Amino acid sequence: MNTMVYEPRGFTRSLETGAAWLLGFLWVLPLLYAFWTAFHPPEFSTRFDLTAPLTLDNFARAWSAAPFARYCFNTVLLVTMVLGAQLVLVTLAAYAFARFEFPGRNVLFALVLVQLMVMPDVLIVENYRTMTALGLKDTILAIGLPYMASAFGIFLLRQTFKGVPRELDEAARVEGCTPLQVLWKVYVPLARPTYLAYALVSVSYHWNNFLWPLIITNSVESRPVTVGLQVFSATDQGIDWSIITAATLLTSAPLLVAFLLFQRQFVQSFMRAGIR
């Protein structure tokens, strides 16, 4: 333990533990509240009675009131497509930046980094125009396309590739590997933790993305689950909170479950992705 000498003791320690727990409680409170409402009949949605009967009825009603199965399918498709394309594009680009000498390399790298600031999220007006021109409006491809070349991924992987010892690279070449074989056999396997980190960050980002999908889609066939949820809670339901919270939990459940199962990997991945 690194700060052991400065660990609080005695009264300070109890005070800090109490404060930490209070903050933790406040942090999960909105979620607990949502769980309470979703798992109890509507008449108990704001009445806290420990004897209230538990029910899955709200989930059943939400599930049948909107095509959530289709929305979830769309999101899974979107997330898979984006991640697949990102992994390929980002790997190739990062390899070029990390290990090849060519004119314009620094300028091009600077151009890539521009996307860290000017994300597709803010260029909605022009990207909508482009998608219309390409005839891709209201498709899942259109939701994912602007994000497929990810500056963040290129940056992250370039750092990792640069850390690979040159000797390994050269040894593989002596064995007669082409540059692409070297990439596949040496760099990619060594960068696996980075890939995992990037994949988790990317999946949660695109699962949660909302504004751009909201703009570019307008049919059940292409809407991801976030937009579906918004359409559902804004129009179909008045203020039936039981069913809305049930739908909300339903849409976040896959990520939440994945997070609880792979907690350690998630946290480490986000850490790794943040340290440059």
Could you say which residues in the range 31-90 bind another protein, by CB under 8 A? 31, 33-34, 37, 45-46, 88-90
Distance CA 19, CA 185 (A): 50
Residue 110 found at the interface with another protein (CB under 8 A): no
List 55, 139, 159, 204, residue binding another protein (CB under 8 A):
204
Tell me the torsion sign for CA atoms 101, 104, 106, 109.
Answer: negative
The minimum distance between CB 241 and another protein, in angstroms, equals: 5
The minimum distance between CB 102 and another protein, in angstroms, equals: 3
Tell me the torsion sign for CA atoms 143, 149, 152, 153.
Answer: positive
The residue range among 52-60, 66-74, 91-99, 158-166 that interacts with another protein, by the rule CB under 8 A, is 91-99
List 108, 136, 141, 164, residue binding another protein (CB under 8 A):
108
Distance CA 261, CA 269 (A): 14
Distance CA 73, CA 68 (A): 8
C-alpha distances in Å from residue 200, one per residue of 32, 58, 255: 25, 30, 10
Two structure tokens written together for 145: 């396309």
Residues 142-171 that bind another protein (CB under 8 A): 145-146, 148-149, 151, 154
**Contact residues for 266 (Cβ-Cβ < 8 A; gap 6+):** 200, 258, 259
Residue closest to 195 by CA, chosen among 125, 94, 96, 263:
94
Yes or no: say if 272 and 193 are a contact pair by the CB < 8 Å rule: yes
The minimum distance between CB 216 and another protein, in angstroms, equals: 10
List 95, 152, 155, 161, residue binding another protein (CB under 8 A):
95
Residues 207-266 that bind another protein (CB under 8 A): 207-208, 210-211, 214-215, 226, 229-230, 233-234, 239, 241, 244-245, 248-249, 251-252, 255-256, 259-260, 263, 266
List 126, 192, 193, 220, residue binding another protein (CB under 8 A):
126
Residue 172 found at the interface with another protein (CB under 8 A): no
Yes or no: say if 39 and 53 are a contact pair by the CB < 8 Å rule: no
The minimum distance between CB 218 and another protein, in angstroms, equals: 11
Q: Please give the size of the binding site for another protein, defined by CB under 8 A.
A: 97
| Count of H-run helices and E-run strands, the chain | 15, 0
List 63, 128, 137, 184, residue binding another protein (CB under 8 A):
128
Residue 112 found at the interface with another protein (CB under 8 A): yes
The minimum distance between CB 7 and another protein, in angstroms, equals: 6
The minimum distance between CB 225 and another protein, in angstroms, equals: 8
10-29 footprint of another protein as x/- string (CB under 8 A) = ------xx-xxx-xxx-xxx
C-alpha distances in Å from residue 120, one per residue of 86, 114, 117, 134, 150: 15, 11, 9, 17, 10
184 backbone dihedrals φ, ψ, rounded to 5°: -70, -40
